[in-house]
Amino acid sequence: MTDPFDNWIEKLFERWHRELTHQEVVRALKALTRDYVQRRTRLRGKALEGRGKQAAFAMYYAPRHFVIVREALKSLGAPTDSPREVIDLGCGSGVAGAAWAMHCGANIVGVELDPDVLREAAFTFKDLGLRGGGIRCHLGKYRWPKAPVGIIAAFTINELDERDRERVWRELEKQVKGGSRVLILEPLSTRITPWWQDWSSRVTELDGRADEWHFEVELPQRVHLLGKSAGLKPERLGARTLWV
Ligand SMILES: C[S@@+](CC[C@H](N)C(=O)[O-])C[C@H]1O[C@@H](n2cnc3c(N)ncnc32)[C@H](O)[C@@H]1O
Protein backbone atom coordinates (compact mmCIF):
# COMPACT_ATOMS: atom_id res chain seq x y z
CA MET A 1 0.00 0.00 0.00
CA THR A 2 1.29 3.51 -0.82
CA ASP A 3 2.34 5.61 2.14
CA PRO A 4 -0.25 8.42 2.60
CA PHE A 5 2.47 11.08 2.63
CA ASP A 6 3.97 9.82 -0.68
CA ASN A 7 0.46 9.57 -2.15
CA TRP A 8 -0.26 13.18 -1.18
CA ILE A 9 3.00 14.49 -2.71
CA GLU A 10 2.45 12.51 -5.90
CA LYS A 11 -1.12 13.77 -6.36
CA LEU A 12 -0.12 17.32 -5.43
CA PHE A 13 2.58 17.47 -8.11
CA GLU A 14 0.41 15.68 -10.67
CA ARG A 15 -2.48 18.10 -10.13
CA TRP A 16 -0.45 21.31 -10.31
CA HIS A 17 1.65 20.09 -13.26
CA ARG A 18 -1.54 19.72 -15.31
CA GLU A 19 -1.66 23.51 -15.12
CA LEU A 20 1.95 24.69 -14.80
CA THR A 21 5.36 23.45 -15.95
CA HIS A 22 8.30 22.87 -13.60
CA GLN A 23 9.94 26.08 -14.90
CA GLU A 24 6.80 28.13 -14.28
CA VAL A 25 6.59 26.86 -10.70
CA VAL A 26 10.30 27.57 -10.18
CA ARG A 27 9.84 31.17 -11.40
CA ALA A 28 6.82 31.60 -9.14
CA LEU A 29 8.69 30.08 -6.19
CA LYS A 30 11.50 32.62 -6.63
CA ALA A 31 8.98 35.47 -6.73
CA LEU A 32 7.04 34.10 -3.76
CA THR A 33 10.21 33.69 -1.73
CA ARG A 34 11.15 37.29 -2.47
CA ASP A 35 7.76 38.47 -1.20
CA TYR A 36 7.03 35.92 1.51
CA VAL A 37 10.42 35.32 3.09
CA GLN A 38 12.55 38.29 2.13
CA ARG A 39 10.03 41.15 2.08
CA ARG A 40 7.58 39.44 4.42
CA THR A 41 4.47 40.52 2.58
CA ARG A 42 1.59 38.95 4.42
CA LEU A 43 0.36 35.88 2.62
CA ARG A 44 -3.25 36.88 2.89
CA GLY A 45 -2.32 40.01 0.98
CA LYS A 46 -0.39 40.18 -2.26
CA ALA A 47 2.17 37.45 -1.66
CA LEU A 48 -0.11 34.61 -2.79
CA GLU A 49 -1.62 36.37 -5.78
CA GLY A 50 -1.69 34.27 -8.92
CA ARG A 51 -1.89 30.56 -9.58
CA GLY A 52 1.88 30.25 -9.93
CA LYS A 53 2.53 31.50 -6.42
CA GLN A 54 -0.29 29.35 -5.04
CA ALA A 55 1.32 26.34 -6.70
CA ALA A 56 4.75 27.32 -5.37
CA PHE A 57 3.44 27.59 -1.82
CA ALA A 58 1.48 24.34 -2.04
CA MET A 59 4.34 22.37 -3.64
CA TYR A 60 7.33 23.75 -1.71
CA TYR A 61 6.51 25.58 1.51
CA ALA A 62 3.52 23.42 2.50
CA PRO A 63 5.40 20.06 2.37
CA ARG A 64 8.24 21.69 4.35
CA HIS A 65 5.74 22.86 6.96
CA PHE A 66 4.25 19.36 7.12
CA VAL A 67 7.67 17.80 7.79
CA ILE A 68 8.61 20.47 10.34
CA VAL A 69 5.36 19.93 12.30
CA ARG A 70 5.73 16.15 12.13
CA GLU A 71 9.31 16.31 13.46
CA ALA A 72 8.45 18.90 16.12
CA LEU A 73 5.63 16.71 17.47
CA LYS A 74 7.97 13.73 17.66
CA SER A 75 10.69 15.78 19.38
CA LEU A 76 8.17 17.21 21.85
CA GLY A 77 6.95 13.71 22.68
CA ALA A 78 3.36 14.65 21.78
CA PRO A 79 0.88 11.88 22.69
CA THR A 80 -0.10 9.58 19.84
CA ASP A 81 -3.60 8.82 21.17
CA SER A 82 -5.00 12.33 21.69
CA PRO A 83 -6.44 14.89 20.98
CA ARG A 84 -9.43 13.56 19.05
CA GLU A 85 -9.75 16.78 17.05
CA VAL A 86 -7.16 19.23 15.74
CA ILE A 87 -8.04 22.84 14.88
CA ASP A 88 -5.61 24.38 12.42
CA LEU A 89 -5.62 28.20 12.67
CA GLY A 90 -4.75 29.91 9.36
CA CYS A 91 -4.52 26.43 7.87
CA GLY A 92 -3.49 27.43 4.34
CA SER A 93 -3.35 24.11 2.50
CA GLY A 94 -3.98 22.30 5.78
CA VAL A 95 -0.59 20.64 6.19
CA ALA A 96 0.21 21.55 9.80
CA GLY A 97 -3.07 20.26 11.22
CA ALA A 98 -2.78 17.25 8.91
CA ALA A 99 0.65 16.36 10.32
CA TRP A 100 -0.74 16.47 13.87
CA ALA A 101 -3.91 14.57 12.90
CA MET A 102 -1.73 11.82 11.40
CA HIS A 103 0.49 11.76 14.48
CA CYS A 104 -2.43 11.01 16.80
CA GLY A 105 -5.29 9.74 14.60
CA ALA A 106 -7.46 12.86 15.04
CA ASN A 107 -10.07 14.59 12.89
CA ILE A 108 -9.10 17.97 11.54
CA VAL A 109 -10.78 21.37 11.13
CA GLY A 110 -8.94 24.04 9.13
CA VAL A 111 -9.79 27.70 9.74
CA GLU A 112 -8.74 30.00 6.93
CA LEU A 113 -9.64 33.32 5.30
CA ASP A 114 -8.67 32.52 1.74
CA PRO A 115 -11.11 30.29 -0.20
CA ASP A 116 -8.49 29.25 -2.79
CA VAL A 117 -6.16 27.77 -0.21
CA LEU A 118 -9.09 26.15 1.59
CA ARG A 119 -9.80 24.25 -1.62
CA GLU A 120 -6.18 23.11 -1.56
CA ALA A 121 -6.68 21.97 2.06
CA ALA A 122 -9.57 19.74 0.97
CA PHE A 123 -7.19 17.96 -1.45
CA THR A 124 -4.56 17.62 1.31
CA PHE A 125 -7.00 15.99 3.74
CA LYS A 126 -8.42 13.66 1.08
CA ASP A 127 -5.06 12.59 -0.34
CA LEU A 128 -3.64 11.96 3.13
CA GLY A 129 -6.70 9.87 4.01
CA LEU A 130 -7.80 12.18 6.85
CA ARG A 131 -11.26 13.04 8.10
CA GLY A 132 -11.53 16.78 8.02
CA GLY A 133 -12.82 19.96 6.49
CA GLY A 134 -12.36 23.68 6.38
CA ILE A 135 -14.16 26.74 7.72
CA ARG A 136 -13.78 30.03 5.88
CA CYS A 137 -13.45 32.55 8.65
CA HIS A 138 -11.34 35.41 10.00
CA LEU A 139 -9.55 34.25 13.15
CA GLY A 140 -10.82 37.31 14.98
CA LYS A 141 -14.39 36.09 14.42
CA TYR A 142 -13.89 32.37 14.91
CA ARG A 143 -16.26 30.60 17.33
CA TRP A 144 -13.88 28.35 19.22
CA PRO A 145 -14.85 24.73 19.97
CA LYS A 146 -15.35 23.34 23.42
CA ALA A 147 -12.05 22.22 25.02
CA PRO A 148 -10.26 19.84 25.05
CA VAL A 149 -9.01 19.79 21.47
CA GLY A 150 -5.62 20.27 19.79
CA ILE A 151 -4.92 23.72 18.39
CA ILE A 152 -2.13 24.44 15.95
CA ALA A 153 -1.07 27.75 14.43
CA ALA A 154 1.83 27.22 12.01
CA PHE A 155 3.45 30.35 10.61
CA THR A 156 0.15 32.19 11.06
CA ILE A 157 0.28 34.27 14.25
CA ASN A 158 2.87 36.58 12.62
CA GLU A 159 0.25 37.52 10.02
CA LEU A 160 -2.15 38.90 12.63
CA ASP A 161 -2.19 42.50 13.79
CA GLU A 162 -1.75 43.15 17.49
CA ARG A 163 -5.46 43.30 18.28
CA ASP A 164 -6.24 39.96 16.60
CA ARG A 165 -3.12 38.39 18.07
CA GLU A 166 -4.18 39.34 21.59
CA ARG A 167 -7.70 38.12 20.92
CA VAL A 168 -6.31 34.77 19.76
CA TRP A 169 -4.08 34.63 22.85
CA ARG A 170 -7.04 35.08 25.22
CA GLU A 171 -8.86 32.22 23.48
CA LEU A 172 -5.77 30.01 23.55
CA GLU A 173 -5.37 30.62 27.27
CA LYS A 174 -9.01 29.60 27.88
CA GLN A 175 -8.49 26.51 25.76
CA VAL A 176 -5.37 25.50 27.69
CA LYS A 177 -7.22 25.95 30.98
CA GLY A 178 -9.95 23.68 29.58
CA GLY A 179 -7.40 20.96 28.83
CA SER A 180 -6.59 21.67 25.15
CA ARG A 181 -3.07 21.27 23.81
CA VAL A 182 -1.60 24.12 21.78
CA LEU A 183 1.27 24.12 19.31
CA ILE A 184 2.48 27.37 17.74
CA LEU A 185 5.24 27.43 15.13
CA GLU A 186 7.11 30.39 13.67
CA PRO A 187 10.35 30.80 11.70
CA LEU A 188 13.71 30.64 13.49
CA SER A 189 14.40 34.27 12.70
CA THR A 190 12.45 36.49 15.10
CA ARG A 191 12.50 39.46 12.72
CA ILE A 192 8.78 39.07 12.03
CA THR A 193 7.82 37.88 15.53
CA PRO A 194 8.80 40.68 17.95
CA TRP A 195 6.15 39.26 20.33
CA TRP A 196 7.90 35.88 20.61
CA GLN A 197 9.71 36.47 23.94
CA ASP A 198 6.54 37.75 25.52
CA TRP A 199 4.52 34.75 24.32
CA SER A 200 7.29 32.37 25.43
CA SER A 201 7.02 33.76 28.97
CA ARG A 202 3.22 33.48 28.91
CA VAL A 203 3.45 29.88 27.69
CA THR A 204 6.01 29.00 30.37
CA GLU A 205 3.67 30.41 33.01
CA LEU A 206 1.03 27.99 31.73
CA ASP A 207 3.56 25.13 32.23
CA GLY A 208 4.39 25.02 28.54
CA ARG A 209 7.74 25.22 26.79
CA ALA A 210 9.47 27.24 24.09
CA ASP A 211 12.01 25.56 21.79
CA GLU A 212 14.14 26.07 18.70
CA TRP A 213 14.57 23.13 16.34
CA HIS A 214 16.92 22.25 13.48
CA PHE A 215 15.90 19.01 11.80
CA GLU A 216 18.11 16.74 9.74
CA VAL A 217 15.50 14.99 7.65
CA GLU A 218 15.09 14.65 3.94
CA LEU A 219 12.25 16.23 2.04
CA PRO A 220 10.61 14.23 -0.75
CA GLN A 221 12.89 14.33 -3.78
CA ARG A 222 10.53 16.41 -5.94
CA VAL A 223 10.14 19.06 -3.24
CA HIS A 224 13.91 19.14 -2.69
CA LEU A 225 14.52 19.52 -6.43
CA LEU A 226 12.01 22.35 -6.72
CA GLY A 227 13.79 24.24 -3.94
CA LYS A 228 17.22 23.63 -5.47
CA SER A 229 15.97 24.79 -8.89
CA ALA A 230 14.83 28.06 -7.29
CA GLY A 231 18.24 28.57 -5.64
CA LEU A 232 16.93 27.85 -2.11
CA LYS A 233 18.36 25.65 0.64
CA PRO A 234 15.74 22.91 1.00
CA GLU A 235 17.91 20.90 3.41
CA ARG A 236 17.64 23.60 6.07
CA LEU A 237 14.59 22.72 8.11
CA GLY A 238 13.76 24.29 11.42
CA ALA A 239 11.34 26.36 13.46
CA ARG A 240 10.60 27.83 16.86
CA THR A 241 7.76 26.28 18.79
CA LEU A 242 5.54 27.06 21.74
CA TRP A 243 3.89 23.96 23.21
CA VAL A 244 1.46 23.76 26.08
C1 LIG B 1 2.13 31.46 6.09
S2 LIG B 1 0.55 30.79 5.81
C3 LIG B 1 0.71 29.28 6.71
C4 LIG B 1 -0.26 28.25 6.25
C5 LIG B 1 -0.17 26.91 6.97
N6 LIG B 1 -0.47 27.06 8.37
C7 LIG B 1 1.17 26.26 6.78
O8 LIG B 1 1.87 26.03 7.77
O9 LIG B 1 1.53 25.96 5.63
C10 LIG B 1 -0.52 31.75 6.85
C11 LIG B 1 -2.00 31.51 6.55
O12 LIG B 1 -2.79 32.22 7.51
C13 LIG B 1 -3.93 32.74 6.85
N14 LIG B 1 -4.42 33.89 7.63
C15 LIG B 1 -3.78 35.05 7.85
N16 LIG B 1 -4.53 35.86 8.61
C17 LIG B 1 -5.68 35.20 8.87
C18 LIG B 1 -6.86 35.53 9.61
N19 LIG B 1 -6.98 36.69 10.21
N20 LIG B 1 -7.85 34.61 9.66
C21 LIG B 1 -7.72 33.39 9.03
N22 LIG B 1 -6.62 33.04 8.33
C23 LIG B 1 -5.62 33.93 8.24
C24 LIG B 1 -3.40 33.13 5.47
O25 LIG B 1 -4.45 33.24 4.53
C26 LIG B 1 -2.44 31.99 5.18
O27 LIG B 1 -3.06 30.93 4.49
Report the predicted TM-score, pTM, of the whole model to 2 decimal places. 0.95
Distance 224 CA to ligand 1 centre (A): 23
Distance 117 CA to ligand 1 centre (A): 9
Over the stretch 135-178, which tens digit does the pLDDT of each residue have? Answer: 999 999 999 999 999 999 999 999 999 999 999 999 999 999 99
Percent of the chain whose predicted confidence (pLDDT) is above 90: 90
Work out which ligand 1 atom sits closest to the CA atom of 36.
Answer: 1
Distance 1 CA to ligand 1 centre (A): 33
CA distances from 118 to 46, 93, 100, 136, 161 (A): 17, 6, 18, 7, 22
Separation of CA 166 from chain center:
20
Average confidence score pLDDT of the chain: 94
Instruction: Of 64, 92, 87, 75, give the one whose Cα is nearest residue 5.
Output: 64
Residues in the ligand 1 pocket, defined by CB under 6 Å = 43-44, 62, 65, 90-92, 95-96, 112-114, 117, 138-139, 154-156, 159-160, 164
CA distances from 150 to 79, 97, 115, 145, 203 (A): 11, 9, 23, 10, 15
Distance 57 CA to ligand 1 centre (A): 12
Over the stretch 27-83, which tens digit does the pLDDT of each residue have? Answer: 999 999 998 776 665 555 555 668 999 999 999 999 999 999 999 999 999 999 999
Work out which ligand 1 atom sits closest to the CA atom of 185.
Answer: 8
Task: Give me the number of domains the chain comprises.
Answer: 1
Q: CATH code at 220?
A: 3.40.50.150
Predicted confidence (pLDDT) at residue 193 exceeds the cutoff of 90 = yes
Domain boundaries, position 124: 4-243
Q: Helix, strand, or coil here: 237? A: strand
Q: Helix, strand, or coil here: 184? A: strand
Residue nearest to atom 24 of ligand 1 (CA): 44
Distance 81 CA to ligand 1 centre (A): 27
State mean pLDDT over 4-13. 96
Predicted confidence (pLDDT) at residue 197 exceeds the cutoff of 80 = yes
Helix (H) or strand (E) holding 211: strand 209-215
Query: Which among 12, 43, 123 is the best mutation to test ligand 1's pocket, defined by most ligand atoms within 8 Å of the CB?
Result: 43
Q: At what angle do helices 196-205 and 162-177 cross, to 10 degrees?
A: 20
Distance 8 CA to ligand 1 centre (A): 21
